[in-house]
A and B are shown apart, each in its own frame.
Chain A
């Protein structure tokens, strides 16, 4: 088994920061890449990548109050979601049988289990980089591929990361609000 490291940068934000602003800040302050040299392009499905750094892979996700970024030397997908009451119809319509059972197994901590499965599914789709062309009901994060998934709670949020191999996470908190 090859263990790789995926670096995760988490920032609590009060106002809207775009994914591009955040990755440029992280690349500049953590990787030492001059912002002006950082050209970002998008694949045909809209997944962004560094034009001049083909071996540096990244993915950004944000939700109200938090923005997260994963950087790796292989393709990576990340998602974050606040733990909150959820739309049960989404589970019924878009989750696999295993995932539905997992979320609905008990009423205790149901919102947290929903956030876990949702972010895992999002991280997987973002890793694939094909946007909404991948239907949410077509795969099962409670079954195959789960070994390559890392997930953890961060305060009232849930963060999931999907990488090509089982990866060891290194999580850093970014405290500079002037991104």
Chain B
């Protein structure tokens, strides 16, 4: 899966319009990056990427790129 597809998945998960975020986007600046988004990301990682993501690992994410790197 290329980065653009992964970003589309993240945008869809956070109900954002396509093209709203890039790898450089800082999560603290994203209004939609809330508890629901964080739990949805754990579910997404498990179902789409077969990866176990913990809440401690989420705390380390600073930008969208950090999420993309975890998906890789």
Contacts and interface: CB of A to CB of B under 8 A. Distances in A.
Given A64-B15, A89-B47, A132 B40 contact: no
A20 B61 CA distance: 23
B58 interface: yes
Interface string A57-90: 0000011100000000000000001000001011
Contacts of B38: 132
Interface residues of A, number: 17
- Interface residues of B, dominant DSSP: helix
Contacts, number: 30
Interface string B2-23: 0000000000000100000000
B69 interface: no
A136 B39 contact: yes
B1 to A, nearest CB: 20
Contact of B40 (A63, A87, A133, A135): A87
Q: Which of B43, B47, B59 has the most CB of A within 10 A?
A: B43
Nearest to A81: B36
